[in-house]
Amino acid sequence: MNHHFFKTIMVGAIAAAMILGGAGCKKSPSVVDVPVTAFSLSATSLELKIDETKQLDVLFFPEDANNYPKLIWESDNDKVVTVSQEGLVTAVGVGTAVVTARTNDGSLSETCAAKVWKDKDLEFSEETYSIWGGAEHPTRITFTPTPSTAVAEDFIWKLERPELLDLQLDKEAYARALAGGKCKMTVTPKDGDASLSKSTYIMAYKYRFNLHNHRPDYNELSPVNYGIADGETIDLTNTYDMDNGHPCLYVITFGDFELVTSKNFEIVVEDTGVVDIEKLKINRGKYADSQKYFYRITFPLGTKKGTAKLTLKNTMNAEDGSVLNTYTREFTLLVPESTTTE
């Protein structure tokens, strides 16, 4: 054998082995440890029916975290809900509970409020609702349902005096007064326990405000004391509460007097030459020992006998200035021939 050739081969083999060995021993780049600094749950609140389960998922932050901590799951009321160590929540009884997920060292934690129901239910927002007639839009009857997805049509609505209201049910409940008076209203879930019935009271006002040809005594005022009906002809010759020889009409407001002010209450008399609109006087008065206000409209007598159209309009505004509702009433005035020059 050619010793020179063998030596060359051996040197080459050793060199190759050194190269390969060096490549094999080269250290790989070290992995940077990115710890979790926060986490969130897939829901902060849950509504469940008894025996229903829902999974709470976890999202860790930052997004490139690679060192995930072990979470411990707990329920503060295991008679309402239980939770597995994988975040599966199970409803076992009616009520409320708080599910908590926390890290082993307690440095991070998040909660989810759970509410468990057996039958659909609701809570009324008011003990007594004032419902008006004569408005452009019906009045909403506000309530909080259980579960939150329940709607007004899921319940049976019963009025003690059905003749008082036009009740409209869809997702929400709306009503318009047909007559004046007070009655009890009860709701019961259609497919639930009758013992879950809830009640409230309705104070129905056919009109938001009304006219009288005299200032009624405060004790006379009630939802059923309507005074003058819509479209009725008002004979000013029959008004017996006079101001310096001029007939007066009184506008009485029902409900919260603060909703009816000079800024959102309009009194318009059609200019037909019968009533001198420039001499029309409107004064606001107040009943003693009460918070109820009234408006007195003093009419100058016309130059000739005739009729005029009287329109009363009350606009209710929200805090942001938007219009919530508008109440309008119209009457015909019968004006006598003038007997004074005032």
Q: Is residue 10 part of a domain?
A: no
Q: DSSP 3-state assignment of 10?
A: helix
341 pLDDT above the threshold of 50: no
Distances in Å between the alpha carbon of 7 and those of 4, 10, 106? 5, 5, 68
* Sign of the dihedral defined by the CA atoms of residues 112, 116, 122, 124, in that order: negative
162 Cβ contact list (under 8 Å, min separation 6): none
pLDDT confidence of residue 73: 98
We report the CATH number of the domain holding residue 85 as 2.60.40.1080
pLDDT confidence of residue 166: 95
Residue pair 237/247 in contact (Cβ under 8 Å)? The answer is yes
| Least confident stretch, 148-152, 211-215, 218-222 | 218-222
Which of 84, 117, 150 finishes a domain? 117
Which of 205, 236, 270 finishes a domain? 205
Q: Is residue 65 part of a domain?
A: yes
What are 180-218's pLDDT values in tens digits? 889 999 999 997 777 789 999 998 888 877 788 777 777
pLDDT confidence of residue 259: 43
Q: Is residue 6 part of a domain?
A: no
Do 112 and 126 fall into the same domain?
Answer: no
Q: How many domains does one find in the chain? A: 3
**Type of residue at 303:** T
| Least confident stretch, 121-130, 167-176, 239-248, 312-321 | 239-248
Do 265 and 217 fall into the same domain?
Answer: yes
Neighbours of 98 (CB within 10 A): 15
Do 63 and 125 fall into the same domain?
Answer: no
pTM of the model: 0.67
- Supply the mean pLDDT for the chain: 81
d(C-alpha 125, C-alpha 139), whole Å:
14
40 pLDDT above the threshold of 60: yes
More confident residue, 147 or 291: 147
Which of 205, 239, 255 finishes a domain? 205
pLDDT confidence of residue 162: 96
Q: Is residue 29 part of a domain?
A: no
Q: How does residue 123 score in pLDDT terms, banded at 50, 70 and 90?
A: very high
More confident residue, 258 or 301: 301
Four-point Cα dihedral 54, 58, 59, 61, nearest 10 = 160
Q: How does residue 11 score in pLDDT terms, banded at 50, 70 and 90?
A: very low
Work out the average pLDDT over 225-249: 73
Domain that holds residue 103: 38-117
Work out the average pLDDT over 74-88: 97
Do 303 and 228 fall into the same domain?
Answer: yes
pLDDT confidence of residue 328: 86
d(C-alpha 208, C-alpha 135), whole Å:
8
Q: Is residue 102 part of a domain?
A: yes
